[in-house]
């Protein structure tokens, strides 16, 4: 120490300051000094020990020092706290947390050992989950569209009529009868009414056969009731759908299913010209009534020219895609009749243009006067062939 001081002070070595002699503090003064102590941890009226300061100062310093940081010294000679907390002192973590931004989740992963590999694995798992969800949604949409398409196909298929099957009388029948009688009393021009096949049974047994394609189904509301519909073809000029069948004279020899449909439209193309310019026309009977009786216990008696009874014509419906095959002959006798009453504008006739009626070009046919009459076409396969029984 003397060497250092001699090096620093090249001049005269300063004299050390004389140390103050310790003063005695009486008991009364000591008690008076104790009363001004402001240390919250120091006890009142407690005797603080006298500590000799290295610099020669006498201070009254408590034996217990506050552990709280940042509090100004309460006694002369006490050291001031540091301006900021160190790592080893309490509260250092909180101070550092305020000054430093914590690392994110990705940074924490990267800081670990093998962080890049772990991050790649996590990204791969996330990508796999996204692809799986997308694939599931795509499959769900595809299945829904497939089911909807299948349902629509089934609906369109079920809406189209198919060959009905079931107990009698359900089925698709090719019903053949002979034209036995005709009447043209409803019109003033007999050429405007005609009946297919334009030949009566009395003229030609074979040439008078006419076939109707009709099918019978069970009613949708009551399976014990039946409905009958027609299929448009070249042999029938009247079309109807779901007409109710009525069982008449049940359990007798005349038991039969009957139906009657009014206000049908029958069209006739006269074989001769009824217009002034010698062109063909088409006539419409808008209030034609169709009645029929399908016997279940009475057999047919009329035969063709070869002595054979009509068995019907096995054929498939001409309507594309309906799939009905009329391959059943009706097992009993049948009677079918078309009738039209005379009246105003009976019939309505129009000139044909390109083989079709031109409704802007009516062909006037005088109405029947004097009370009028009835036009009819009668088909039967029993009786004497003249329209009588």
pLDDT in tens, 71-129: 555 544 445 555 544 444 554 444 444 445 555 665 666 566 666 777 788 888 888 89
Task: Decide: 382 and 302 in contact? Cβ < 8 Å.
Answer: yes
- What's the sign of the alpha-carbon dihedral 216, 220, 221, 223? positive
Give dist(CA 117, CA 120) in Å, integer.
5
Task: Decide: 175 and 329 in contact? Cβ < 8 Å.
Answer: yes
pLDDT score recorded for residue 325:
84
Q: What angle do CA 94, 99, 103 make, to 5 degrees?
A: 90
Residue 269's closest CA among 196, 339, 209? Answer: 196
Q: What is the pLDDT along the chain (389 residues), one digit of tens a residue?
A: 555 454 444 555 555 565 555 555 555 555 454 444 444 444 444 444 444 555 544 445 554 444 445 555 554 444 555 554 444 455 444 444 444 555 566 566 656 666 677 778 888 888 889 888 877 776 665 555 555 555 544 444 444 467 888 899 999 998 989 999 999 999 989 999 999 999 999 999 989 999 888 999 998 888 889 999 987 654 555 788 899 999 999 999 999 999 999 999 999 999 999 887 888 999 999 999 999 999 999 999 998 766 666 554 444 444 434 678 888 899 999 999 999 999 888 999 999 999 899 999 888 777 776 557 999 999 999 998 888 76
Can you give the length of the chain in residues?
Answer: 389
- Give Cα 335 to chain centroid, integer Å: 49
**Residue ranges of E strands in the chain:** 50-52, 58-60, 171-184, 209-218, 226-230, 243-244, 246-248, 256-268, 281-295, 315-316, 325-326, 334-341, 348-353, 356-362, 374-380
Report the predicted TM-score, pTM, of the whole model to 2 decimal places. Answer: 0.57
3-class SS at 246?
A: strand
Give dist(CA 347, CA 362) in Å, integer.
11
């Amino acid at each position: 120490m003397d060497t250092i001081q001699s090096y620093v002070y090249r001049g005269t070595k300063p004299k050390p300051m004389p140390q103050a002699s310790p003063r005695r503090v009486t008991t009364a003064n000591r008690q008076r000094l104790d009363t001004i102590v402001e240390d919250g941890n120091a006890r009142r009226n407690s005797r603080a020990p006298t500590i000799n300061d290295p610099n020669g100062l006498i201070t009254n310093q408590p034996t217990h020092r506050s552990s709280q940081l940042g509090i100004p010294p309460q006694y002369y000679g006490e050291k001031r706290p540091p301006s900021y907390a160190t790592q080893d002192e309490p509260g250092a973590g909180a101070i550092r947390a305020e000054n430093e931004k914590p690392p994110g989740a990705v940074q924490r992963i990267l800081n670990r050992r093998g962080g890049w590999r772990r991050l790649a694995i996590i990204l791969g798992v996330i990508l796999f989950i996204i692809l799986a969800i997308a694939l599931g949604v795509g499959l769900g949409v595809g299945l829904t569209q497939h089911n909807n398409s299948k349902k629509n196909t089934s609906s369109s298929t079920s809406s189209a009529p198919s060959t009905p099957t079931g107990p009698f009388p359900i089925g698709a029948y090719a019903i053949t009868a002979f034209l036995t009688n005709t009447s043209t009393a409803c019109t003033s021009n007999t050429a405007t009414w005609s009946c297919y096949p334009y030949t009566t049974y009395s003229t030609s047994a074979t040439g008078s056969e006419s076939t109707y394609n009709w099918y019978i189904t069970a009613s949708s509301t009551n399976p014990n009731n039946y409905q009958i519909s027609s299929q448009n073809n070249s042999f029938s000029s009247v079309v109807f759908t779901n007409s109710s069948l009525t069982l008449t004279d049940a359990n007798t020899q005349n038991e039969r299913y009957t139906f009657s449909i009014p206000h049908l439209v029958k069209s006739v193309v006269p074989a001769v010209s009824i217009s002034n310019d010698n062109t063909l026309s088409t006539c419409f009977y808008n209030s034609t009534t169709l009645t029929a009786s399908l016997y279940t216990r009475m057999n047919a008696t009329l035969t063709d020219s070869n002595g054979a009874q009509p068995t019907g014509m096995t054929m498939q419906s001409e309507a594309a895609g309906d799939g009905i095959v009329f391959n059943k002959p009706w097992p009993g006798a049948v009677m079918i009749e078309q009738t039209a009453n005379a009246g105003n504008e009976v019939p309505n006739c129009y000139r044909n243009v390109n083989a079709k009626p031109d409704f802007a070009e009516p062909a006037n046919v005088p109405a029947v006067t004097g009370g009028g009459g009835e036009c009819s076409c009668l088909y039967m396969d029993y009786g004497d062939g003249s329209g009588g029984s």
